[in-house]
C-alpha cells in the first residue's frame, strides 16, 4: 500500500471456525476489490498459542495488515434476534439491552440501521470466547479489530431478495439466518451432521418479518429457524461487494463464494462499504445482590444514636471585640 493510510474500500475480514481460519483482503485500487484470499488450519482453537500462531500465519498470507479488520464468529449454541429500537437513545437503549439479557440471554447487542428504522440485534453467545479471539487477533498484528456475528457479516454480501440463508462453515459449526432487505431478523447455530462443508445455501421464499417477535426461548428460536430453512426452496445466490459482483470461482478455489462468503462480509464491513457500522456492545458482568434485589443499597443507616452536638463558638464580632479588650491575668 502506497498511501499514508487505509482508504475507503481497504479492509480485512476473518471467519473463525473450530478448525480453520478464512481470510480476505480488499483494496480500493484493486480491480474487483479482491486482493488476497487464504485459509489457515488451527490445531486447537482453545489453545492461545495455537490460535495466535494461526492468526500470524493468516496475516502473512494476506499481506499488508495496516487496514481495519473485522472478525466474524458465531460459535455453536449462539442465537440472534432483533427488536425495534427506532427513536431510542441513551437510557432507552440501555433498558432495552437489559431486557434482552433478562428475557433472551442476549448479553451482547449491536445497532443496525435500516433506512429510517433502527434495530437492536441481541446476540447470545460466549462473550468470554469472543473477547479472547479479539485480543489474540490484535496480538497477531491486525489493527482496528472488531468482532461481528457471522450472520450479520454474511447478510452484507447476499442480495436483498434473499430471505433464507444457511452457512455450513466447518464440522460442528453451521448456522441459519432469516433476513429482510439485507437485515437479519433471526439466526441460530444448527447441527451440521451430514452437511458438506464449506457450504452456502440460499432461498428467496416469502417470510413474515414478525415471526420471531415473541420468541424468547433459545430452543424455540432454533427450532423455528430450522423449520423455515427446511421448507424454503433453494435458489442461486450471487455475492456482491457493495456495487461490484463477486466472481463465481470454482468450489476448490480458495476464493470460492461458499468458502469466503462470511469473510467477505466481514471485509466489506471493515472497508466501510456497508454504510455505518457500530461495534458489538457487551454487558459487563455484575456481582449478585442479596435477596435477589436488582440494585444494592447505596445508603444505609449504621447507627440509631443521635448526632453529636457541635460545640458553641463565638461569632466574628465578639472575636474582634475580645482582641481590643485587655486580657485579665
Neighbour tally for 291: CB within 10 Å: 4
Task: Supply the pLDDT for residue 297.
Answer: 52
Domain count along the chain: 1
For residue 326, give the H/E element and its range: none
Residue 289 lies in a domain: no
More confident residue, 78 or 29: 78
Tell me the per-residue pLDDT of 298-322, one tens digit each, with 9 for 90 and over.
566 666 777 777 776 777 777 777 7
Report whether pLDDT(153) > 70. Answer: yes
More confident residue, 195 or 23: 23
Task: Supply the pLDDT for residue 1.
Answer: 42
Residue 273 lies in a domain: yes
Could you tell me whether strands 34-41 and 117-124 are parallel, antiparallel, or unpaired per DSSP bridges?
unpaired
| Region for 311 from its dihedrals, namely left if φ exceeds 0, alpha if ψ lies in -120 to 50, beta otherwise | beta
Confidence of residue 289 (pLDDT cuts 50, 70, 90): very low
- Gap between the Cα atoms of 253 and 145, Å rounded: 27
- Gap between the Cα atoms of 68 and 106, Å rounded: 27
180-219 burial, b for 16+ CB within 10 Å, e for fewer?
bebbbbbbbbbebeeeebbbbbbbbeebeeeebeebeebe
| Rounded average pLDDT over 144-158 | 95
Residue 276 lies in a domain: yes
Residue 45 lies in a domain: yes
Residue in this structure with the C-alpha cell 496475516, named with its chain if needed: 59
Report whether pLDDT(74) > 90. Answer: yes
- The set of cell numbers assigned to 35 is 486482493
Task: Supply the pLDDT for residue 308.
Answer: 73
Residue 218 lies in a domain: yes
Task: Supply the pLDDT for residue 96.
Answer: 93
Could you tell me whether strands 79-84 and 183-190 are parallel, antiparallel, or unpaired per DSSP bridges?
antiparallel
Residue 308 lies in a domain: no
Tell me the per-residue pLDDT of 88-111, one tens digit each, with 9 for 90 and over.
988 999 999 999 999 999 999 999
Q: Where would I find the H helices in the chain?
A: 48-62, 91-104, 127-139, 150-155, 218-231, 257-270, 316-324
Reply yes or no: is the peptide bond before residue 198 cis, omega within 30 of 0. Answer: yes
Tell me the per-residue pLDDT of 209-258, one tens digit each, with 9 for 90 and over.
888 988 889 999 999 999 999 999 999 988 998 888 999 999 999 999 99
Residue 211 lies in a domain: yes
More confident residue, 329 or 70: 70
Task: Supply the pLDDT for residue 254.
Answer: 94
| Rounded average pLDDT over 162-180 | 94
- What's the domain range around 111? 11-282
Task: Supply the pLDDT for residue 288.
Answer: 44
Contacting residues for 296 by C-beta, under 8 A, at least 6 apart: 289, 290
- Gap between the Cα atoms of 16 and 18, Å rounded: 7
Report whether pLDDT(292) > 90. Answer: no
Q: What percent of the chain has pLDDT over 90?
A: 64
248 to 31, 213, 238, 253, 254: CA distances (angstroms): 15, 36, 8, 10, 12
Report whether pLDDT(294) > 60. Answer: no
- Gap between the Cα atoms of 7 and 163, Å rounded: 32
**Mind giving me the DSSP string for 164-229?**
EEEEEEETTEEEEEEEETTEEEEEEEE--TT--SSEEEEE-----TTTTTT---HHHHHHHHHHHH
pTM of the prediction? 0.83
Amino acid at each position: 500500500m502506497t498511501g499514508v493510510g487505509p482508504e475507503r474500500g481497504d479492509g480485512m475480514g476473518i471467519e473463525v471456525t473450530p478448525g480453520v481460519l478464512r481470510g480476505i483482503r480488499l483494496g480500493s485500487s484493486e480491480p474487483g476489490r479482491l486482493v488476497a484470499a487464504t485459509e489457515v488450519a488451527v490445531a486447537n482453537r482453545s489453545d492461545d498459542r495455537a490460535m495466535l500462531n494461526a492468526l500470524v500465519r493468516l496475516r502473512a498470507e494476506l499481506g499488508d495488515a495496516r487496514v481495519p479488520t473485522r472478525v466474524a464468529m458465531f460459535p455453536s449454541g449462539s442465537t440472534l434476534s432483533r427488536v425495534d429500537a427506532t427513536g431510542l437513545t441513551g437510557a432507552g437503549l440501555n433498558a432495552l439491552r437489559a431486557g434482552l439479557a433478562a428475557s433472551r440471554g442476549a448479553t451482547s447487542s449491536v445497532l443496525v440501521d435500516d433506512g429510517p428504522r433502527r434495530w437492536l440485534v441481541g446476540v447470545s453467545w460466549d462473550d468470554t470466547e469472543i473477547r479472547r479471539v479479539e485480543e489474540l487477533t490484535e496480538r497477531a498484528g491486525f489493527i482496528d479489530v472488531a468482532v461481528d456475528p457471522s450472520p450479520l457479516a454474511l447478510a452484507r454480501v447476499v442480495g436483498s431478495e434473499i430471505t433464507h440463508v444457511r452457512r455450513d462453515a466447518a464440522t460442528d459449526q453451521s448456522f441459519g439466518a432469516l433476513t429482510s432487505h439485507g437485515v437479519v431478523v433471526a439466526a441460530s447455530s444448527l447441527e451440521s451432521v451430514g452437511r458438506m462443508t464449506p457450504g452456502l445455501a440460499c432461498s428467496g421464499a416469502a417470510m413474515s418479518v414478525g415471526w420471531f417477535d415473541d420468541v424468547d426461548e433459545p430452543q424455540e428460536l432454533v427450532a423455528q429457524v430450522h423449520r423455515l430453512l427446511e421448507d424454503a426452496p433453494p435458489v442461486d445466490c450471487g455475492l456482491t461487494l457493495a456495487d461490484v459482483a463477486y466472481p463465481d470461482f470454482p468450489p476448490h478455489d480458495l476464493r470460492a463464494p461458499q468458502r469466503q462468503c462470511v469473510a467477505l462480509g466481514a471485509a466489506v464491513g471493515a472497508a466501510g462499504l456497508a454504510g455505518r457500522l457500530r461495534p458489538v456492545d457487551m454487558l459487563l458482568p455484575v456481582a449478585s445482590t442479596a435477596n435477589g434485589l436488582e440494585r444494592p443499597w447505596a445508603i444505609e443507616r449504621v447507627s440509631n444514636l443521635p448526632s453529636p452536638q457541635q460545640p458553641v463558638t463565638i461569632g466574628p464580632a465578639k472575636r474582634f471585640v475580645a482582641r481590643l479588650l485587655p486580657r485579665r491575668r
